[in-house]
Amino acid sequence: MASANLEDVSNEALMNEMMRRMRCATKPEKRVILIGPPGCGKGTQSPVIKEQHCLCHLATGDMLRAAVAAQTPLGVMAKQAMDKGELVTDDLVVGIIDEALHRPACSKGFILDGFPRTVGQAQKLDEMLAKRGEKLDKVLNFKIADSILEERITGRWIHPASGRSYHTKFAPPKRPGIDDITGEKLIQRKDDNATVLKSRLEAFHKQTSPVINYYERKGLVATLHAEKAPEVVTKEIEKALDLSKSSHQEKPKSLRNW
């Protein structure tokens, strides 16, 4: 809505946004990291957390692409690195996250997904937040057995045109391999096979275990039973994010900051 001409926004949309901001004004601030392997359910839970706690959802890949497209100073530097075939530095990624946190949508805090992936990145994130006078509240660890993930992921089928997804066991189409709505053929993504998944999971465990250990030493990790039904995991998350007894909980900001 920030980039839109308010004269062209309907009264209903404006009222809905005002009601949302009034509802969010009394919410305590929360800064949350999600850690979990592919297929663990982060994508299901993120919108729920975002809506319930009035947080912005920060996916580093999306933010990086947006910064490059918008040609922000950091985005230009990131594009220069990528054009040379170089990796975008941790400092650049943290800087882009810092830029994003100035948005009004992030006034009540954030959900950070896909970062940090290393202890070095976690330390740089802590340093950036400290400069802002902030710190993390919780790290949600979506723990699930690799064997369950294999069943979840290798059973996925997609309708390419619409993005509708099915699962051979949990949400099968009426006819095997056929989209319920259009009658068109379903496909499986190239990455949705046991061989690719095994490689991805090995890399995930090797990379993120030290990060989880880093945050555990700070007392920030809440381990979720991600193999359970989504509504059960949602309840676990709500319990983990009950920060009413937290010593560093922020006072609610006024509506002026929204």
Catalytic residue annotation: 42, 117, 156, 189, 200
**Given CA atoms 24, 64, 39, 172 in this order, what sign does their dihedral have?**
positive
Q: Are residues 25 and 252 in contact, defined by beta-carbon separation less than 8 angstroms? A: yes
In angstroms, the CA 12 to CA 97 distance is 32
- The structure tokens listed for 152 are 């979840």
Distance CA 212, CA 154 (A): 26
**Strand locations in 131-244, DSSP E?**
138-143, 156-158, 165-167, 221-225
Yes or no: say if 35 and 116 are a contact pair by the CB < 8 Å rule: no
Alpha-carbon distances of 197 from 19, 80, 148, 224, rounded to whole Å? 43, 32, 12, 21
